[in-house]
């Protein structure tokens, strides 16, 4: 399986779980066939540290934004801030951003404004928007759709675990759904059905590590190498061999994250 290459499209290598161990984590990912990963900055004040990880490790790219659960605690990003960060050659996406009403519904208004700013930055840079959505499907769908009608942009619904209606709306807009370890949990039959109904050319895989480790590592710290376990489940969902599913998700990643694909080719 390690001979087949896949990409972890969303992880958090700057989180304390990985302190001082990034080189080991990246090496172990490579041994599992995970030849590339995108590490996500969730607070812009952490961007220098996240950028440094991407600069230090050839397989690592990065994105930055303000996570919706932090939107009320952090200074409001500006479009200019995000556009300036996007000039870095390994900066490949805007976010993660979005809406989360599970624990932080009281900051909904601030989250919405932050999301709108990130959409504008994605439109201006041409980089894909990276969306976190939890318990906010209707508002996420409305804001993403309204922004797309103003000016089209590309987008991935990261760690997708929302309902079928949000999946339909996102896919209708040309967006992508990313499969995390949640899709591999035994009780996630409904989520696997949503992915099975999606076009194969709109599916990515990720870990969201250090969270949401798939079986057989569930309940433990997740890491990019474990993308392979989720991809194996994805292959079953689509009735494909692991190699064919991996090839499809690689093509999808390179289509959406074209800047990462171009950097890899240049390197």
Q: Which residues fall in the annotated binding site for a divalent metal cation? A: 10, 12, 96, 132, 158, 208
- Known binding-site residues equal 10, 12, 96, 132, 158, 208
- Residue pair 171/195 in contact (Cβ under 8 Å)? The answer is no
- Residue pair 166/193 in contact (Cβ under 8 Å)? The answer is no
- Residue pair 8/230 in contact (Cβ under 8 Å)? The answer is no
Q: What is the rounded distance in angstroms from the CA atom of residue 232 to the CA atom of residue 165?
A: 26
Q: What is the rounded distance in angstroms from the CA atom of residue 70 to the CA atom of residue 67?
A: 5
Q: What is the rounded distance in angstroms from the CA atom of residue 79 to the CA atom of residue 91?
A: 15
Strand partners, 132: 98
The three-state secondary structure class of 124 is: helix
Question: 164-199: string of b/e by CB count within 10 Å (b at 16+)?
Answer: eebbebbbebebbbbbbbbbbbeebeebbebbeebe
- The full DSSP string for 159-216 is T--S-HHHHHHHHHTT-EEEE-GGGGSTT-HHHHHHHHTS-GGGEEE---TTS-PPTT
């Amino acid at each position: 399986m390690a001979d087949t290459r896949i990409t972890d499209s969303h992880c958090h290598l700057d989180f304390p779980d990985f302190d001082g161990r990034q080189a080991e984590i990246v090496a172990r990912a490579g041994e599992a066939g995970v030849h590339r990963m995108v590490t996500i900055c969730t607070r812009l004040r952490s961007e220098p540290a996240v950028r440094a990880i991407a600069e230090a490790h050839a397989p690592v790219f990065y994105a930055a934004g303000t996570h919706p659960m932090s939107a009320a605690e952090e200074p409001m990003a500006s479009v200019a801030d995000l556009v300036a960060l996007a000039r870095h050659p390994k900066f490949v996406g805007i976010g993660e951003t979005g809406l989360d009403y599970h624990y932080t519904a009281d900051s909904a208004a601030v989250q919405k404004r932050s999301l709108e700013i990130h959409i504008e930055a994605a439109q201006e840079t041409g980089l894909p928007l990276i969306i976190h959505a939890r318990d906010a499907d209707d508002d996420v769908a409305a804001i993403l759709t309204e922004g797309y009608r103003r000016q089209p942009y590309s987008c991935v619904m990261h760690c997708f675990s929302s309902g079928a209606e949000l999946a339909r709306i996102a896919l209708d807009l040309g967006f992508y759904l990313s499969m995390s370890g949640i899709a591999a949990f035994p009780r996630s039959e409904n989520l696997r059905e949503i992915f099975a109904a999606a076009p194969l050319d709109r599916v990515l895989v990720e870990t969201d590590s250090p969270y949401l480790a798939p079986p057989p590592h569930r309940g433990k710290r997740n890491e990019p190498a474990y993308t392979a376990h989720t991809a194996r489940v994805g292959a079953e969902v689509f009735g494909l061999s692991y190699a064919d599913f991996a090839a499809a998700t690689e093509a999808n990643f390179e289509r959406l994250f074209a800047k990462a694909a171009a950097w890899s080719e240049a390197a």
